[in-house]
Structure 1
């Protein structure tokens, strides 16, 4: 294997150390901890595991977490109502709706019930627009984590050709926008793109975000390319790891690459939201 591993666990650990410092300063200044509310619908085992991981990371960083568990039979209206209540709760700084929700629920309607100032997972239309226009909104957590990981390894993006495989509104599309903002030339592909291998072979940076295990063959990777695998299913990514690692210059493992960076970004943005909420209160009620 010739590629350098993009170690998301190590980089996220350093980020979370800084988050812990920021939380200590916040608590000293405002006599409360930043609070993240997590909404989990149904009993999907993987979703429960992810929520526990996020709660554990919150606890280690000193962030307060509030978990709301709802039955799979909950209606869209009921879910939207619970999320709107959290949006109106001044004690809550960030809201995370664990994805995916059970079939029959309008996930987009539920996402849009999150107040933009509490959308620390970057899933609303407002967050996407402000991110795309560089107007200071919250980044989608996984794409934001990808960018932080590339930055940690000083990987240049300006002038590079990036191919994003995937078009999810919370992963593929925002990842392309963030790469574009770094002056990369971005091509979007997906599972139905004709001659997908030819498109990937042109890429200096490949972001695999289709959620299709083994979709991207190692032999397609351009020698020296950077490969970021954001796919995950049964500990398997979208990229044929061993074969791709023989050709890439940098590559993320699955697990241990993008996943830890997603959680780190979520917590960074929760603390930022808490500071912004306190700043807004000080302006509204000056001493």
Structure 2
């Protein structure tokens, strides 16, 4: 779950409060088709805190979106009813394509490079690709993400070589249909998988958004991180100084998806950004 409280002036998004809390809402949805009740309870507790933060900040325009886990869940209406009570407004269930467009708007708002751009947004249950210059020209959403791949294949940690190879093949198969109409030299990776991997790659003593934003990861480095993480237990992964312990169970799968996603773009390097769909939502609200 993520929160952004911001002021937007002439297309500039100034962060006032930004939070990320991993609640595991999507765990089990791929297998059971339902949101787990304990995960829902954790999420509602977080959303209630976000609702209070927005009220205290005097937020005048609010929007919440629900993505892959909620899209796929049979009990999504029950969750949304509780989320509405916690937040004071009802989150919208958006399509993967809508999610991709918001990520593109946020990630490309202040890029110091020539277009076109490709934005990759890896979530728990889906991965979005968007190509464009000043607006999306191609976008697609694929049902593969850090939680979904963990639930399907990478439940054991350390992962066996066979499990890891199976997961890599599954990611390659899932992303094989991504067909970017042109090649961009500037590929941007957003959201928790890319930002967490950047922090681990840099061996940061603690997570530092300023060090993560604008950093780069190469495909060979992503492959090294996949191997490194595959050899660790969840507890050892959680002990990495820059790692959010709640992300530790799914970061290996996220790394597998990230490496294959960047390969699909036909480049060797991805630029990591802290700006994402939250910034895109803020820009959209400001334009209304």
* Interval of TM-score (by shorter of Structure 1 and Structure 2): 0.3 to 0.5
TM-score using structure 2 length = 0.35
The structure number with the bigger radius of gyration is 1
Q: Which has the higher strand share?
A: 2
